[in-house]
A and B are shown apart, each in its own frame.
Chain A
Amino acid sequence: MTATELLVTESGRGRKQPGRRFTPHKGAITFFAGPFGVLFLLFYLIPIGYAIYQSLLVVEREGTYGQPQQVFGGFTQYANVFANAPFWESVGRVLLFGVVQVPVMLGLALLFALLLDSPVLKGKKFFRLAFFAPYAVPGVIAAIMWGFLYSPNLSPFTDVTRSIDFLSPEMVLWSIANVVTWVFVGYNMLIIYSALLAIPAEVYEAARLDGAGQIRIAWSIKIPMVAPALVLTTVFSIIGTFQLLAEPQVFRSFSAAVSSTFTPNMTIYATNSIPNTNLAAAFSVVLALATFILSFTFLKISQRKAEQ
């Protein structure tokens, strides 16, 4: 595709000057790419720059009762970030959450996608819709719903909820993990399933002739071929894990075990409400960098593996 595309555009260029500075259709390009470019600048790049700028300021007062003033403080706020124990506890918590929840969720999504793609399953359309339905439920609503389901009085499963306290300090993180898994398994399943559908049937023929069964085909052909989709879903899941906010925020009204600094984003929100905007900005920058580095590293590692 790309080769032909390249050829076509190259040959179509005959009448244009090869001169470097001349760009044909400049007006059209500005018209098409301009609006997005401006919006991206206004609502992505400038806020990121502003967060970095704010994180470099500190508030100073002249005397005890003087007017507060923002002055340049260098990396003071970052020193505060590194000394802030609740923030690092919250980072540790989401890391633990991600290490367990992401593999479980994507493992299930892969299993369901493979079953949907295998000839042994009947009623595929129904299962596809049923498993995807929770994705239509926003995180806040899902958390409210599961909060009721977990609570000992209201739950339809009182026998279970009375013997296991899902909202206890030890359990609540995993109860939240269940809510996130419930919402997103179907979405990830569909991404992987679409990738499976795109595998041409001829690929399976050789394996069939060699007498490979469905499980062998799934393991040796299908899973390696949907690896890019698995990488994509993993990266989105990593970003999502670091962003955790709505679900734990809702669970605060069901469980005393969820503190106001339970996840990094909740820490940012709480710090900003104090208000300590400069420290909150520094938290944001550190969190965004951590997310970025983690997902970028994962992308690179999986690319290198794919090349080997």
Chain B
Amino acid sequence: MSMLTLKRGATADDLTPRGPRESLISRGAAMLIMGVFTLYFLTPIWWLFIASTKDRGDLLTTAPLWFADWNLFENIGDLISYDGGIYLRWILNSLGYAGLGALLATVFAGMCGYALAKYRFPGRELFFNVVLGGVLVPATALALPLFLLFSQVNLTNTFWAVLLPSIVSPFGVYLTRIFASASVPDELIEAGRLDGAGEVRTFFTISVRLMTPALITVFLFQFVTIWNNFFLPLIMLRSQELFPITYGLFAWNTQLNQIPELRTYVLVGSFLSIIPLIIAFLMLQRFWQSGLGNGSVK
């Protein structure tokens, strides 16, 4: 029974003079709180958007939260031609690190979580507990030893230096294990066996479909983690052709005092760089929201 029907049924409550008035006040208070915080959350993004549409002079002299002359496309043009188009390179790098990394991480974590949920083998719980411990190990604590190890095998300052460590997601294993044991019935796997399908085929044709919400959650989670990762590129990369977008913009930002025209590029570049993630979230919301709940409730 839903809360709505309950509320309608609770006539005794509504008939008292205090009932509706109180709800009017609390309605107003709730809207006020949420309204104020909407401004808090959206004003910075709005400001960034407005700042991206202005030329350098207007940025300092015109109203900061409203449009002046529309220069967005000129700014974008200048941005992507600056320094031989390095900005586009950074965006592609980020998409490569985060897209490929998250995809592989999801496949490996999904397979492992499935195995932990659906098969019994000696050492299973130990294996799972060690991986679970990995969730608590901060990624930045791994960055330095990874750098030391990679420099032994000449892998620092390569694409692999950032990609390889990103394809391991202990949290993904945790989430897919919980999800697989709740949503993939053993009877289904058993039926697949009786029909003569191999374990691997059963996984890729049946189980993966049932695990989709969890897999999309893991993918998005890992995508955001890699996209936002800063320490690993900072410590691994030297040549700016390999930088992800966050590191590139960071590097520009530190040069603002010497090269003031970079300010427009930093602002426009920041604005453009957050669009892909916002689109990804909007497109996949109904999947990751259900997945998010599964991870936290159990």
Partner of B141, one of A37, A119, A291: A291
A287 touches B23 (CB 8 A): no
Partner of B140, one of A8, A135, A245, A281: A245
Contact with B along A119-155 (1 / 0, CB 8 A): 1111100010111111111111110111111000111
User: Which residues of chain B are near A9, meaning CB under 8 Å?
Assistant: 120, 186
A48 touches B145 (CB 8 A): yes
User: Which residues of chain B are near A149, meaning CB under 8 Å?
Assistant: 44, 47
User: Which residues of chain B are near A144, meaning CB under 8 Å?
Assistant: 249-250, 253, 266, 270
Q: How many angstroms between the C-alpha atoms of A25 and B296 in the bound complex?
A: 31
B34 touches A127 (CB 8 A): yes
Asked if A98 is at the interface (CB within 8 A of a chain B CB), the reply is no
B297 touches A272 (CB 8 A): no
CB distance from B172 to the nearest CB of A (A): 9
B138 touches A191 (CB 8 A): no
Asked if A66 is at the interface (CB within 8 A of a chain B CB), the reply is no
A23 touches B120 (CB 8 A): yes
User: Which residues of chain A are near B154, meaning CB under 8 Å?
Assistant: none
Asked if B115 is at the interface (CB within 8 A of a chain A CB), the reply is yes
B231 touches A51 (CB 8 A): no
CB distance from B161 to the nearest CB of A (A): 11
Chain B residue with Cβ nearest A197 = B293
Q: Which of B1-51 contact A (CB under 8 A)?
A: 1-4, 6-7, 10, 13, 22-23, 26-27, 30-31, 33-34, 37-38, 40-45, 47-48, 51
A182 touches B41 (CB 8 A): yes
Q: Which of A246-265 contact B (CB under 8 A)?
A: 246, 249-250, 252-253, 265
B138 touches A291 (CB 8 A): yes
Q: Assuming A31-B200, A145-B270, A194-B296, is B141 touching A253 (CB within 8 A)?
A: no
Q: How many angstroms between the C-alpha atoms of A28 and B141 in the bound complex?
A: 33
Q: How many angstroms between the C-alpha atoms of A27 and B44 in the bound complex?
A: 53
User: Which residues of chain A are near B250, meaning CB under 8 Å?
Assistant: 140, 144, 246, 249-250
How many residues from A make CB contacts under 8 Å with B? 112
User: Which residues of chain B are near A123, meaning CB under 8 Å?
Assistant: 34
A5 touches B181 (CB 8 A): yes
Asked if A156 is at the interface (CB within 8 A of a chain B CB), the reply is yes
User: Which residues of chain A are near B131, meaning CB under 8 Å?
Assistant: 40
CB distance from B119 to the nearest CB of A (A): 5
Q: How many angstroms between the C-alpha atoms of A122 and B270 in the bound complex?
A: 32
B37 touches A44 (CB 8 A): no
User: Which residues of chain B are near A229, meaning CB under 8 Å?
Assistant: 296-297
Give 5 A-B pairs besides A121-B30, A245-B234 with Cβ atoms closer than 8 angstroms.
A44-B170, A144-B270, A153-B60, A243-B231, A292-B137
